[in-house]
Amino acid sequence: MDKEQKAIERLKEAADISLSCYGKPLIIVYSGGKDSEVLLELAGRSGINFEVNHSHTTADAPQTVYHIRKVFKDLEEQGIKCGISYPKMSMWQLIIHKCFPPTRLIRYCCTSLKENNCGNRMIATGVRWSESVKRKTRGIYEDTHSNKDKRIVLMNDNDEKRRLFERCQIQAKTICNPIIDFTNDEIWDFYNNECQYKNPIYDLGFTRCGCIGCPMANKKRNWEFEIFPKYKHLYIMTFDKMLEARKAKGLEIRESWKTGNDVFDWWLQNDRR
Ligand code: SF4
């Protein structure tokens, strides 16, 4: 079975589990990036009943925000329910609250802005093993038990533990990652040749779609801030306020952090691979 067909089978299975365990349709998690575009396309082809949800990060490129609005309008006209989850705190409020910029190793922003939505539902995401070493530990099916040691992760389609999902013995949000085994080349190939929706952010030279200045963009962040200078200004203003918050809380401040600009330079220089 090719990967496209395999992903469709996983989506069908996840949709069945979602209906029998939660009594509600599977939710396709949609960021507007190439992986979620592929996932959305495959969900459409699979013939399942599904909903779509986007987590608004407050730091996405305007092109992505407008693209998502357009796609959702189109999907809703086809009778597909779409929802946008707004965070309790924006990226800018979160940085001041945490008193530290998000970094590659401490990405508190993703947890707060993206991962806390769609509680007690079954969701499908575009997570893939080829994206990072950390993602190699992710499974085709997963639950989100609060105790990491008790989490169930299915690494292959024939895993024996699957029956736990099918019997609805999981008491938390469950996740299916249907395109987990797609390589980068396979994703780009499918995205370029088969997907109905395309985010214009890729036409600007972006190879990933996420928050502007995301620590995961590594050295490309300098370039991102050249394209979107207003975001650079926003981060610097936020780091100014973050320094005030650190002072107010009596937290230690690095020698080199005199202004928001200094924090910004440190952030770009030190948090890179
Ligand atoms: S995409 Fe990057 S910056 Fe945005 S929430 Fe996730 S880790 Fe944070």
Residue 27 gets which letter from DSSP?
A: E
Averaged pLDDT, groups of 10, the chain, 273 residues long: 92 94 95 97 98 96 97 98 96 97 91 86 93 82 81 81 71 89 96 97 92 89 95 98 97 95 93 54
CATH at residue 75: 3.40.50.620
Residue 224 lies in a domain: no
- What b/e sequence results for 40-69 when a residue is b if at least 16 CB atoms lie within 10 Å of its CB, and e otherwise? bbbbbebebebbbbbbbbbbbbebbbebbe
Residue 253: inside a domain: no
For residue 163, the model assigns a pLDDT of 73
CA of 211 to the centre of ligand 1 (A): 6
pLDDT at 171: 67
pLDDT at 83: 97
Nearest Cα residue to atom 4 of ligand 1: 211
> Structural domain tally of the chain?
1
Report how far residue 182's alpha carbon sits from residue 185's, in angstroms, rounded to the nearest whole number: 8
Q: Which residues are within 8 A (CB) of 51 and not within 5 positions of it... i.e. 6 or more apart?
A: 24, 25, 26, 27, 28, 80, 81, 82, 83
In a domain, 95, yes or no: yes
Residue 212: inside a domain, yes or no?
Answer: no
In this structure, the number of other CB atoms found within 10 A of the CB of residue 120 comes to: 11
Atom of ligand 1 lying closest to residue 114 CA: 5
Tell me, yes or no, whether 242 lies in a domain.
no
Confidence at residue 132, expressed as pLDDT on a 0 to 100 scale = 78
Expressed in angstroms and rounded, the spacing between residue 109 Cα and the centre of ligand 1 is 6
Burial, 25: exposed, middle or buried (Cβ in 10 Å; 0-12, 13-18, 19+)?
A: middle
Residue 134 lies in domain: 3-102+109-197
Q: How far apart are CA 15 and CA 43, in angstroms?
A: 10
**For residue 133, is it within any domain?**
yes
pLDDT at 272: 56
SS3 262: helix
Q: Does a structural domain hold residue 24?
A: yes
The SS3 assignment for 13 reads: helix
Q: Write out the two tokens for 40.
A: 């959305």
- Ligand 1 centroid, distance to 38 Cα (angstroms): 20
- Which atom of ligand 1 approaches the CA of 107 most closely? 7
Residue 229 lies in a domain: no
Place of tokens 């082809």: 45
* pTM higher than the cut 0.85: yes
Residue nearest atom 2 of ligand 1, based on CA coordinates? 214
pLDDT at 94: 97
Token digits of residue 22: 């939660």
DSSP structural state of residue 29? E
